[in-house]
Structures are given as structure tokens and as C-alpha cells.
Structure 1
Amino acid sequence: MSGMALLLHLAGAVALLLYATRMVRTGVERAGGPLLRRHLQQALSNPVRAALIGAVLALAFQSATAVNLLLSSLAGSGLVAGGAALAGALGADFGSAVVVRLLTLDLSLVMPAALIAGTVIFLSTEQRAWRQAGRILIGAGLILMALQLIGQASEPLRDSQFLPLVIGYLANDPATAFLVAAICAWAFHSSVAFILLVVALATRGLIPADLGLVLMLGGNLGGALIAVLLSRGAVPQTRAVPLANLVLRGGAAVLALIGLPLLPAPTGWLGATAATQVLNGHIAFNLAVAVLALPLAGRAHALVLAVLSRSAPPLVDLAPGTALDDSVLGAPSLALANVTREVVGICGDLETMLDTVIQLYEAPDSARIEAVARLDDRIDLSHREIKLYLARLANSGVDAVEAQRMQELLAACIALEQAGDVASSNLLDHVKRKHDRGLSFSPEGWQELVDLHALLMADARLAFNVIVSRDQTTALALVRAKERFREAERSARALHFGRLSNRGIRSIETSSLHLDTIRDLKQINSLLATLAYPVLEEQGLLASSRLRLPDAGTA
């Protein structure tokens, strides 16, 4: 095999590894993301527990970076204390090291089984949760396949005359090897993928143990740098968690690099082979960082936040602008594009409202309740301005196609405004009633509401996409999602009445609150589903009636 072909095969295997790792992560995020964010708020109250939860999340996401970004966003929004979020990030670093160890076990039979099972599940159902489970299994199988391909592609490197020169140079210059590894891990956007590559090369005898440990330490620095760069545009409260993690984890990597030559036999107790020593060293390093840095998490986060807040530019409160430019009313295509932009802004406000309201059920906050009410006022104002703008546009002369698009945008705006009214009036009233009267749902009842809300948020995003894309496939998916929501709503009601008949409901008033919330979530979902109808009607896919009429002979 020529040198170019060898590098091409190795690059392809690494690309598959990166894609498969991302596939598993997105599958987990899509399957449980909204529920996960709400449950973490209560679970991360204790630093030790936060570290354990971070490790478990890293095992699920197969990425410490994804967990780091999730926790930093919660800290930035004030839902989780910064020190607890940093403790979770430290635990996630250890969890990602365990992921590397698990993926290097002999799983030759697991790979085809995961690929077959994942493909069958993904293709045989339309249920979102099962499809994401199939995606996760396919991703896990592809990770194992990529590791095999890396091993096969790197096998000819044993006989390379150039590679020993590079390895020899890096082995004699640990600082350069450390920096190269950090850059590679950052470029991969996955320390898991980079460490797996180092282990695969060490397994083939291409990298000695001492160099492998240096590369592992550099990979940890690069892995901590990823979340810092991805969150660089966020507010200081969000940036503080990944930056403090970089200071602790990256600083420990630099100290370990300096101390590595001072140890008499640093690799003897880590294992018999170079690959085993890299794996065990990776786990030992991250475990030591988590244990030693955990007591410092709160102070480290506070110090980094103070530095970021001091250097951050002062916030400027800008009133939201409008895209409704009167100067383009003579050009209907531009005017309609402006209306679309304004409607998309309403979609963003409504999504924020819906996501916030369900959190208020658990943790009421007067400031956030007022913020939701202000969002509803902004939606009402945008709705009114859009109607006036479209009226002026109609008087300027539009063709049939443009007139139809005007009607679609107006109908979408009305549906979104009504959904906002239900969220700000009905759901906020339920929040106030629940906490003013000290009501609480049963664990089963609350989980039903959380599950319904998660379905609503997924359907809402489909509806928002239909407004912009007018895509037939997305519109059909939204209608099918409405049917799934209706089935889930019926199931939740049946389970509720079952508990009521068994005297499992804590009070009649709690039962009323539960059923009222279900009703309002369904109403919002139905309003959003109407956004698909104009697209389907245009394609002739919308029936004139959903009624099943009797035959004339049986009337």
C-alpha cells in the first residue's frame, strides 16, 4: 500500500470514529435532552453527587465536552450553582476516561449485534424515543468498527521508515508532543476519539508507553479547551464553568507532564503493555484531578467568574428591533421575507415561554414569571404590527401566490399568538395556584406532565421549521406528531383516572390542576399543528373533513 493510500485509509477510519462518537451523543441528547435539563437542577445540589452525575452523563453522551456545555448552560441560566456545575464537569472528565477503557475491550461480537439491532429499531418504528435508541446502537457499533479500521490501517506503519523518525523526535521532545496532542484533540473536538487513536497506535507497537502518556496528557488539555472555545461568545456565568475546568484539568496535565520524568518508574504499575499503560494512566489522571480538585471547585469557579465579569464589557439593554420595513412594501417578495423574519422571532419567544413555564412548576420565581408575561406582551405587539403591515402590503398589489403566502403567515401569526396566550395566562395561573396553595403532584403524575411537555417542545420545533421551509415532509411529520401527542394525552388521562379511582391522587384540587395542565398543553399542540395545514392543502394531502360519514344506504 502506498503512503498516500495508507494515510487516506487512516484518515477515513478517524473520520468514521468522529462521526460515530457524535452520532451517539446526538442520539442521547435528542432522546432525553429536555427532561435531562429539568432533572439536573435538583440533582446537582451536592458537589460529590454532582461529580457522580457528571461521570454517568459522560458515559451516556460518550463526551465530556457535551456534558460540560450542558452544565455550563444551566449555570449560565441560574438553574444550577456554578461550583456544582464545575464539580459535574470534573466528574464528566473521569467518566469520559472510563468510556475510552470500555471501548477498547474485546467487543468483536458486540459491533455487528449493535449495528443490526440499531438498524432494525431505527427502520421499524416512527416513535422518537425508539428511533434515538436505534441511533445510539448504530453509533456504538460504528465506533467499534472505526477502531478496527484504525488498527488495520495503521498496521503497515510498522514497516514505515518515516514514522520512527517522527516518533523518535516526539519522544525526545515531550513539550512538543504535549502541544501536538493538545492541538489534535481540539481539532478532533473529542478527547475520547483522540485517546482512542493513541491507544490503537500503541496497541500496534507504533507508540512507546512514555510517549503515549505524554500524548494522553496533551489530549486532556486539548479536550478541556474544546468547551472553552465553543462557549467563548456566552455570558460570563456560562463561560466560567468550562474555563475553570480548563484551569484545573489543563493545569494538572501540565504539572503531570513536568513531574513525569521525576518519577522512578511511572509506567510499571500502570500495566504490562503501552496501550494498557495509556488507558490506565488516563483513568488515574482524571480520577486524581476529580478527587483533588473537587474541594476547590466552588472557589475556582468564583475566582474565574470574578475575572470574567471584570473583563466583560458592560451590558447594553437594546429594545428588540423589527424587520417590518415599510420601504420595501412595493416589492412583495422582500416584504414577505421581512414578515417571515418577524414570525420567526415570535417562534423564538414562544419556545422560551414554553420551556420556562414547565420549570416554574418546580421552582417558582417571580422575576421569571414576569419575564414570561413580558414575552407574551411582545408577541401580542408583534402580532398586531404584522397584521397592519400585511394590510398595507395587500393594498400595494400582490399576485395570487404572494396573497396565499400572506394568508399563511397571518394564520401562523394568529396561531402562535393564541398559543402564547394559553402559556402566559392558563399555564402561569396553574403555576401560581400550585405554589400558592402548596399543591404537589405524585411522582407518576409529574412525570406524565414532563413527558407531554417534551413532546410539545419537539412538535413546536417542527412547526417553526414548517413556517420557514414549507417542506412537505416536515409538515407531514408535524401532523403525525400531533397524533402521537393525542395518544400520549389520552394515556396520561387514563393513568390519572386510574390513580384517582385507587385513591392515589393527593387531593381533588391536585387532580384538577393536573387535568387542566394536560388540557392546555394539548391546546397549544393543536394550535401549532395547524401550521402544517396550508402546506399539505397546497399539495392536495389535506382531507376536507376528519369525520367518518355513514353510507347513504345506512343513513
Structure 2
Amino acid sequence: MSGSVVLIHLAGAIALLLWATRMVRTGVERAYGDVLRRKLRNTLSNPIIATLAGALLAICFQSATAVSILVGSFVGSGIVGGSSGLIAVLGADLGSALVVRLLSFDLSLLVPIATFAGTTIFLVTENRIWKQFGRILVGVGLLLLSLQLIGLASEPLRESHILPVIINYLSSDVVTAFLIAAIATWLFHSSVAFILLVAALASRELMPVELGVVMILGANLGGGLIAALLSRTMPAPSRSVPLSNLVMRGIFAVIVLAGISLFRLPVEMLGSTPALQVVHAHIAFNLGLIIVGLPLAPLVHRQIAKWLSGNNPQVGELLAEREASALDPAALDVPSRALANVTRAVVGMCETLEVMLKNVMELYDQPDRPGIDALAELDDKVDRKHASIKLYLAKIPPEQMSETETRRTHELLEACVALEQVGDIITRNMVVHIHKKLERGLTFTPEGWQELSSLHASVLSSARLAFNVLISRDADIALQLVQEKDRLREIERHTRHRHFDRLRDNTKKSIETSSLHLDTIRDLKQINSLLASLAYPVLKERGMLGGTRLTLEPEAV
């Protein structure tokens, strides 16, 4: 087999590995993302628990990068402290290393089982959670299959005359090997995928274990680099966690690299096979980083946060200027450009509302005055955006617009009205309930709180679908949004029935919080209905929306 054919097979196997990893991650995110985020927010106060929570989340997402970005957003929103967030990210890196160890077992039998079961579940069910579970199983099957393909594709490399030359050079120049591994991991955008590739090469004796360990150190630096670069457009507080993780990871990797360059690495203590030695070295590195990093995390994060704030003294002003420049008056004479500007402004409105929708339920759980005041400020921001967008749309010359542009104008205007009403429901209705709960010291029953949290998670999921529809105008997503509305109506009905059952049983907390519980259900349902209305113009345009939802019996006509 020629060298080019070997590289094609190897590239295809690596591409499948990257795709399968992404497939598992998106399946977990769509099915269980909101629940996992809520659990993570509630467990980051204790350093040990934060480490374990970060590791568990990384195992679920199969990505420490996703956890780093997520925790960084929590820190930026003030939900968790910076040092606690950094500790959780260190735990996530250990969780990612444990995923590599799990995948290093012989799981070949799971390939047909996972792909068959996942495909069957995905095709036969209409339930969103089960569909995503099927996606996860298919992703796991493809992930294991890709590892087999990497092994088969790399087998001919044993006879290569060029590979030994490259390996010998990298073995003699560990700094170059370290940097190449960091860059390759960044290009893969997955440390798991790159480390599995290194382990596969080591298992076939195509790479010495000592060089594999050097590549592992570089991969850990590259893994931290991915999150740091992906968060570069986020506010400074949100960037502080990924950047702190990169600094700690990079310094520790360089120290370990210097150590193994000066002293012989006892690879035989790491495992019985080359692949296990490489994987165990990866786990040992991340475990050692946690041990060293736990006491240093507050100091490192404080210095990085101070540096970021010092280098971004006018971030608020820059963001305000960018937001104002979206509605460029110079574009009004070109309706297509003007509508594109309005769409950008509406995206900002959606982002603000998503934050409001997330934070309001957290205030239900732990009400506090500063959080309530911050929510009111966000609503004022939504109102200002709404007013600016209306005035801007009114200035577009109607005689210069095509029929399609006129429809889009009305669609964006109606969407802004609906979004502004969502903000009003949050601040004028739900915040009133929070005040009442705070003043009276009320608490929901565990069952009642679980029901409200589940309902809120469904509404938040619908909000993301609605925002996607508004931008992409995708008919499939619009149809899914309307179907979610029908599903939520059933959830709301069952929630009410269970609440009344608790009232019949004279459950004290249910009696005390009855009005709060039912009013919150009503508000969430109204918000969901407003969000679902964003799908109607898209469905109507494609002839997928009827004129009425009423069904009349023949004798009633």
C-alpha cells in the first residue's frame, strides 16, 4: 500500500473519530445540557465537589473544552466564583483523561451493539430526549469504530522508511515534539482524539513511550489553548477561567517536560503495555495538576482576572458602541443591508433574554436583592433595544423594499414585540413572585420544585430553538418548536394535576406556595407561547400552518 493511500485511510479514521466525539457531545448537550448546567451551578462551592463535578461533566460531554467555556460563562455572570470555576475546569481535564482510559479498553463488541441500538432508538421514537440518547449511542459506536480504523490504517506504517526518521528526530528534540503536539491538538480541537491517536501509534510500537509522554504533555497545553482561544470574544470575567487553566496547564507541562528531559522516566511503572503507559501518563499529569493546583487556583485566577481587567478598561463602552453601531443609519437606503443590521440587533436582544430566563429560575431557588436588581437592568436593556429596532425599521423606505423584504420587516417587528413581552413577564410577573417568596420565607416542596425546574428547562430549550428560527428561518426547526409547544402544554397540565393532588393530601408547603406555583406555571406557559409564535411566519410561508386549530363536529356546524 502506497504512503498516500495510508495517509488517506488514516485521515478518514481521524475524521470519523472527531465527528463521533462531536456527535456524543451534542447529543448529551441537547438531551441533558440544562440539567447538567443546573447541577454544576449548585455544586461548585466546595473545592472537592467542584473537582468531581467538573470531571463528571467532562465525561458526559467528552470534552473538557466545553466545560471550560461553560464554567467561564458562569463566572462571567457572577453565578460562581472564579477560583471555584477554575478548580472545576481542572477536574474536567481529569475527567477527559479518564474518558481516554475508558476508550482504551477492548470494546469492539460494543460497536455493533451501540450503533444498532442507537439507530433503532433514533428512528422509532419521537421523544426528543430518547432521540438524543440514540444519537449518543450511535456516536459511541462510531467512536469505537474509528479507533479500530486508526489501528488498521496505521499498521502499514510499520514498514515505512520515512516514519522512523521523523520519530528519531522528534525523540532527540523534545521541545519540537512538545510544540507539534500542542499545535496538532489545537487543530484537532479535541485533546481526547489526539491522545487516542498517540496511544494507538504507541500500541503498534510506531512511537516510543518516552516520545508519547512528551506528546501527551504538548496535548495538554494544546487542550488548554483551545478553550482560551474560543473564549477570546467573551467578556473579561468569562475569559479568566479558560486563560487561568491554560497558564497553570502550560507551566506545569513545561516543568514536567524539563523533569523528564533531565531524569529517566520510569515508564514501566505506568502500565504493562505502551498504550497503557501513555494513557496513564496523561491521567497522572492531570491528577498531579489538581494536587498542585487546588491551593494555587485562587492566586492564579486573581492575577489573571486582574491582568484582564487592566487590559480591558473600557470593555463596557466598547460593547455599547458595538451594539449601537449594529443599527447603522447609512444602510437605510439599502433594505437588504438594513434588515441584516436589524437581525444582528435582534440577536443581541435574544442573548439578553436568554440570560434573563436562566437567571430568573436561579433567583427562585436562591432569591437575593442584587440579582433581582440585575434582572431589572437587563429588562431595561431589552426595552431600549426594542424601541431602537422599531424606530430603525420605520425609517426603511417602504417603496424600495421587495415583497420578501416587506414580509421580513413585519416578521422582525412582530418578533421584537414578542421578545419584549417575554422580558415584561419575567420582570413584572415572575420577579413579583420572587419578592413574595423572599419576604414570606416560603419554600417549594421537593416535588413541586422539580416540576417547576423541568418546566423551566423545557421553556429554555424552546427559547434556543426560537432564537435559531428567527435567524436561520429553518422550517424543520420551526416545526420542532411548535411541536415542543404542544408537548409543554401536556407537561403543564400534568404539573397542575400533581400539584392539586398534593393539596388534597394537605401538604403544608404545597398549600403555602400554591399561588406561587400556579402563577409560575402560567407565566412559563405564556413565555413559551410567545416564543413559539416566532415559528409561525416561517411555517406560514411554506404552507405548513393552517388557518385555525379548531376542529368542529358535523352537528355543531
TM-score range, shorter chain: over 0.9
| Equivalent residues of 2:326, 2:342 under 8 A apart | yes
Secondary structure at the aligned position of 2:95 is classed as: helix
Q: Which moved more, 1:317-326 or 1:525-534?
A: 317-326
1:447 match: 450
CA positional deviation for 1:485: 1.1
| 1:187-233 Cα deviation digits (max 9, x unpaired) | 21111111100110111111112222222222222222222222233
Within-5 A mapping of 1:383-422:
383-384=386-387, 386-387=389-390, 396=399, 401-422=404-425
- Structure 2: runs of 5 or more not aligned: none
Matched, 1:109 2:87: no
* Separation in 2, partners of 1:172, 1:323: 54
CA positional deviation for 1:305: 2.2
Shift in alpha-carbon separation, 1:243–1:391, aligned structure 2, 3 A: closer
Shift in alpha-carbon separation, 1:484–1:254, aligned structure 2, 3 A: same
Shift in alpha-carbon separation, 1:15–1:385, aligned structure 2, 3 A: closer
* Separation in 1, partners of 2:51, 2:90: 6
2:52 match: 52
- In structure 2, which of residues 333, 345, 349 is the aligned counterpart of residue 346 of structure 1? 349
- Structure 1: runs of 5 or more not aligned: none
Within-5 A mapping of 1:268-279:
268-279=268-279
Shift in alpha-carbon separation, 1:239–1:342, aligned structure 2, 3 A: closer
| Equivalent residues of 2:429, 2:523 under 8 A apart | yes
* Separation in 1, partners of 2:388, 2:316: 25
* Separation in 2, partners of 1:546, 1:392: 36
| 1:306-360 Cα deviation digits (max 9, x unpaired) | 3333333433433652755666666555554454444444333322322221222
- In structure 2, which of residues 498, 501, 504 is the aligned counterpart of residue 501 of structure 1? 504
* Separation in 2, partners of 1:381, 1:74: 25
CA positional deviation for 1:158: 0.6
| Equivalent residues of 2:36, 2:57 under 8 A apart | no
CA positional deviation for 1:152: 0.2
* Separation in 1, partners of 2:427, 2:87: 35
| Equivalent residues of 2:10, 2:150 under 8 A apart | yes
Matched, 1:38 2:50: no
Letter in 2 for 1:515: L
* Separation in 2, partners of 1:221, 1:91: 16
* Separation in 2, partners of 1:451, 1:372: 21
| Equivalent residues of 1:329, 1:396 under 8 A apart | no
| Equivalent residues of 2:13, 2:149 under 8 A apart | yes
Q: Which moved more, 1:288-297 or 1:108-117?
A: 288-297
| 1:6-39 Cα deviation digits (max 9, x unpaired) | 1111111111111111221222222222333333
* Separation in 2, partners of 1:264, 1:327: 67
* Separation in 2, partners of 1:511, 1:190: 48
1:254 match: 254
Matched, 1:225 2:225: yes
| Equivalent residues of 2:499, 2:510 under 8 A apart | no
CA positional deviation for 1:406: 4.0
* Separation in 2, partners of 1:314, 1:333: 32
* Separation in 2, partners of 1:460, 1:369: 21
* Separation in 2, partners of 1:516, 1:445: 13
| 1:514-544 Cα deviation digits (max 9, x unpaired) | 1110110001111222222233333333233
Within-5 A mapping of 1:378-527:
378-384=381-387, 386-387=389-390, 396=399, 401-527=404-530
1:546 match: 549
Secondary structure at the aligned position of 1:506 is classed as: helix
| Equivalent residues of 2:241, 2:301 under 8 A apart | yes
Q: Which moved more, 1:536-545 or 1:430-439?
A: 536-545
Letter in 1 for 2:301: H
Letter in 2 for 1:4: S
Letter in 2 for 1:267: V
CA positional deviation for 1:432: 1.2
Letter in 2 for 1:199: A
Secondary structure at the aligned position of 2:315 is classed as: coil
2:215 match: 215
Shift in alpha-carbon separation, 1:345–1:288, aligned structure 2, 3 A: closer
TM-score (structure 2 length as normaliser)? 0.92
How large is the Cα RMSD of the aligned pairs? 2.5
Shift in alpha-carbon separation, 1:285–1:438, aligned structure 2, 3 A: same
Q: Percent identity?
A: 57
* Separation in 2, partners of 1:333, 1:416: 22
Matched, 1:196 2:196: yes
* Separation in 2, partners of 1:264, 1:231: 38
* Separation in 2, partners of 1:329, 1:238: 35
Shift in alpha-carbon separation, 1:132–1:266, aligned structure 2, 3 A: same
Q: Which moved more, 1:285-294 or 1:386-395?
A: 386-395
Secondary structure at the aligned position of 1:448 is classed as: helix
Aligned length: 554
Letter in 2 for 1:65: T
* Separation in 2, partners of 1:288, 1:329: 59
* Separation in 2, partners of 1:310, 1:341: 29
* Separation in 1, partners of 2:403, 2:246: 58
Letter in 1 for 2:259: G
Matched, 1:164 2:161: no
1:25 match: 25
CA positional deviation for 1:389: 5.3
| Equivalent residues of 1:322, 1:342 under 8 A apart | no
Shift in alpha-carbon separation, 1:502–1:464, aligned structure 2, 3 A: same
Matched, 1:357 2:369: no
TM-score (structure 1 length as normaliser)? 0.93
1:5 match: 5
2:178 match: 178
* Separation in 2, partners of 1:402, 1:191: 45
Shift in alpha-carbon separation, 1:209–1:376, aligned structure 2, 3 A: closer
* Separation in 1, partners of 2:394, 2:310: 49
